[in-house]
């Protein structure tokens, strides 16, 4: 395990971030851990970082715009000073130029509420497409109340376009097909019993067209199914199918849909119509959920190439999100499913980080899986997957044999003066500890890895070294 010194971090990042500082005091905290943590790594190194104005981050999306590479980072709830405007703004989306990953530059902050920039808000989810002659940002915005669109053709000067739909609650992780303009928007609509997927055509961003709502049977108004089926967390559209993850951290359901049937089928919310697009479904145990369902199709299986069947398989990677601090709850692994026959998904393996490898339960905050990257960059697709593991940082996993996933590297960022503490317990038992919380991870087509920190430490830009780099198809 490699531990960076302060001087080595300063040298790699191009500027200096103090790696060991006291944590912030949380209101009501009885016991406060004030120890910082230096960066830790294996076969990964820090290229650079952005502080994101100290705003806690959820999701980074990396987009190539001409000769530039730009990161759009969805943010958790809160407010902070925006130096570009001199005003306090509700958290929304940070726009960061990462063309030179060693010197990332904050370009803009788009508040979560377009009509009240000082209102505490969030815009956790972000998708970006080149469409209709420009570059557009799709967000689940406000305070989980709406989905909106911004023109970011000039990423330094984002321009508001429209609210796609508002009057919602509990919006969540969307998906946008850049080639067709079809968007899948998880939302709680009062006309339904739970968070469902609203589908829109955004090929003309200024004039969104509603297509249909979709949900599990039992979520429609008037249904009597109890308990109400779990909420949709995130859809992924790929190669003519939708991979739907429900439940997030418990009572998970994974659903595989036929895209054409979903978009062209009868939208009336009857049992028959809701089941029509379904190609397959898997119900998970009550203690595990569906956060992300990431497909890898036509994967050649090592050691199976001489077999008459099964030499090539379709695989689905499923993340179940850890939601409790300091291991106060079930352990949440990363799961691998054989979906070669989509009607009968079947688990074949899992990946976990041993707690004892870093005393992670005692560090504070969450320890466990949150998510995986969602791009299909040929550098990594079907070779390596990156897992956001909260206080265990990001883990690089060799998945060329999905029956035997093997960790090849990791990076746990250093805490800084901006890293917020996380608390657990009540009254005299309440304690707060300062730890990085790597929330989501993404990659770009150059091979850089981007991690966003829930604790406010910033956006970290990483690159592989050593044996991990040899696994990837890096130029």
- What is residue 150's predicted lDDT score, i.e. its pLDDT? 98
Structure tokens at 57: 């981050």
Between 12-16, 78-82, 188-192, 320-324, the lowest mean confidence (pLDDT) is in: 12-16
Rounded to whole angstroms, how far apart are CA atoms 108 and 101? 17
**215 has a pLDDT exceeding 60:** yes
∠144-95-150 over CA atoms, to 5°?
Answer: 55
End-to-end CA distance of the chain: 26
Q: Does any domain span residue 20?
A: no
**159-165, strands of its sheet edge to edge:** 125-131, 134-141, 146-151, 159-165
Identify whether the C-beta of residue 134 lies closer than 8 Å to the C-beta of residue 87.
Answer: no
With respect to residue 308, please indicate whether it lies within any of the assigned structural domains.
yes
pLDDT higher than threshold 80 for residue 36: no
Q: Mind listing the pLDDT tens digit for each residue in 173-196?
A: 999 999 999 999 999 999 999 999
36 occurs within a structural domain:
no
Q: What is the pLDDT of residues 60-74, one digit of tens each?
A: 999 999 999 999 999
Let me know if residue 45 belongs to a domain. Answer: no
Under the banding of pLDDT at 50, 70 and 90, the label for residue 1 is low
Average pLDDT over residues 395-420: 97
Whether 7 is in a domain gets the answer: no
Residue at 168 is within a domain = yes
Look at residue 116 in the predicted model and tell me its pLDDT.
82
pLDDT for residue 17 is more than 60: no
Query: Residue 24: its pLDDT value, please?
Result: 36
- Give tens-digit pLDDT for 133-159: 999 999 999 888 999 999 999 999 999
Task: Output the pLDDT for position 254.
Answer: 98
Q: How many domains does the chain have?
A: 1
Cα separation, 369 vs 388, in Å, equals 6
Domain that holds residue 200: 52-374+445-464
Q: Are 367 and 389 in contact (CB under 8 A)?
A: yes
pLDDT at 472: 87
Q: How confident is the model at residue 475 (pLDDT cuts 50, 70, 90)?
A: low
Is residue 420 included in any domain, yes or no? no
Per-residue HEC secondary structure of the chain comes to CEECCHHHHHHHHCCCCCCCCCCCCCCCCCEECCCCCCCEEECEEEEEEECHHHCCEEEEEEEEECCEEEEEEEEEEEEEEECCCCEEEECCEEEEECCCCCCCEEEEEECCCCCCCCCCEEECEEEEEEECCEEEEEEEECCCCEEEEEECCCCCCCEEEEEEECCCECCCCCEECCCCCEEEEEEECCCECCEEEEEEECCCCCCCEEEEEECCCCCECCCCCCCCCCCEEEEEEECCEEEEEEECCCCCEEEEEEHHHHHHCCCCCCHHHHHCCEEEEEECCCCCCECEEEEEEEEECCCCCCCCCCCEEEEEEEECCCCCECCCCCCCCEEEEECCCCCCCEEEEEECCCHHHCCHHHCCCEEEEEEECCCCCCCCCCCEEEEEEECCCEEEEECCCCCCCEEEEEEECCCCCCCCEEEECCHHHCEEEECCCEEEEEECCCCCEEEEECCCCCEEEEEECHHHHHHCCCC
Average pLDDT, the chain: 92
For the domain that residue 103 is a member of, what is the CATH number?
2.120.10.30
In a domain, 346, yes or no: yes
Q: Count of residues for the chain?
A: 475
pLDDT, tens digit, 9 for 90 and up, residues 85-134: 999 999 999 999 999 999 999 999 999 987 888 889 999 999 999 999 99
200 neighbors 183 (Cβ within 8 angstroms) = yes
On the question of pLDDT at 23 being above 90, the answer is: no
Report CA-CA distances (Å) from 29 to 32, 280, 371, 411, 431.
Answer: 6, 47, 29, 29, 6
Residue 192 · residue 219 · CB < 8 Å: yes
User: What pLDDT, on a 0 to 100 scale, did the predictor assign at position 425?
Assistant: 87
Q: Work out the average pLDDT over 205-222.
A: 97
């Amino acid at each position: 395990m490699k531990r960076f010194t302060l001087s080595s971090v300063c040298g790699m990042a191009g500027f200096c971030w103090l790696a060991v500082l006291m944590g912030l005091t949380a209101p009501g905290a009885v016991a406060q851990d004030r120890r910082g943590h230096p960066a830790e790594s294996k076969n990964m190194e820090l290229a650079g970082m952005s502080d994101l104005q100290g705003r806690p981050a959820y999701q980074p999306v990396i987009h190539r715009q001409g000769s530039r590479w730009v990161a759009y980072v969805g943010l958790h709830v809160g407010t902070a000073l925006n130096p570009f405007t001199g005003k306090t703004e509700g958290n929304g989306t940070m726009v960061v130029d990462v063309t030179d990953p060693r010197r990332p530059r904050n370009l803009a902050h788009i508040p979560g509420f377009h009509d009240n920039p000082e209102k505490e808000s969030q815009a956790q989810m972000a998708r970006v497409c080149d469409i209709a002659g420009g570059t557009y940002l799709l967000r689940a915005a406000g305070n989980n109340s709406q989905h909106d669109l911004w023109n970011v053709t000039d990423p330094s000067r984002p321009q508001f376009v429209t609210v796609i739909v508002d009057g919602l609650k509990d919006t969540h992780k969307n998906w946008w097909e850049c080639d067709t303009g079809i968007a899948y928007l998880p939302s709680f609509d009062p006309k339904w019993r739970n968070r469902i997927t609203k589908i829109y055509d955004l090929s003309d961003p200024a004039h969104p067209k509603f297509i249909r709502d979709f949900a599990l049977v039992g979520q429609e108004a008037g249904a009597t199914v109890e308990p109400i089926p779990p909420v949709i967390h995130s859809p992924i559209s790929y190669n003519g199918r939708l991979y739907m993850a429900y439940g997030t951290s418990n009572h998970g359901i994974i659903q595989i849909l036929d895209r054409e049937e979903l978009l062209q089928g009868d939208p009336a919310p009857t049992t028959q119509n809701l089941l029509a697009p379904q190609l397959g479904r898997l119900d998970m145990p009550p203690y595990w959920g569906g956060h992300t369902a990431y497909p890898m199709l036509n994967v050649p299986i090592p050691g199976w190439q001489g077999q008459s069947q099964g030499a090539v398989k379709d695989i689905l990677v499923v993340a179940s999100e850890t939601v409790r601090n300091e291991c106060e709850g079930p352990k949440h692994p990363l799961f691998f499913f054989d979906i070669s026959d989509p009607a009968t998904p079947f688990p074949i393996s899992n990946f976990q980080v041993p707690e004892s490898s870093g005393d992670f339960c005692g560090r504070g905050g969450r320890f466990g899986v949150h998510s995986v990257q969602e791009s299909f960059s040929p550098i990594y697709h079907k070779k390596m997957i990156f897992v956001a593991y909260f206080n265990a940082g990001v883990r690089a996993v060799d998945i060329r044999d999905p029956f035997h996933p093997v960790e090849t590297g990791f990076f746990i960022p250093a805490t800084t003066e901006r890293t917020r503490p996380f608390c657990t317990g009540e009254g005299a038992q309440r304690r707060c500890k300062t730890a990085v919380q790597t929330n989501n991870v993404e990659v770009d087509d150059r091979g850089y890895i981007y991690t966003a920190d829930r604790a406010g430490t910033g956006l970290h830009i990483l690159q592989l070294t050593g044996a991990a780099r040899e696994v990837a198809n890096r130029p």
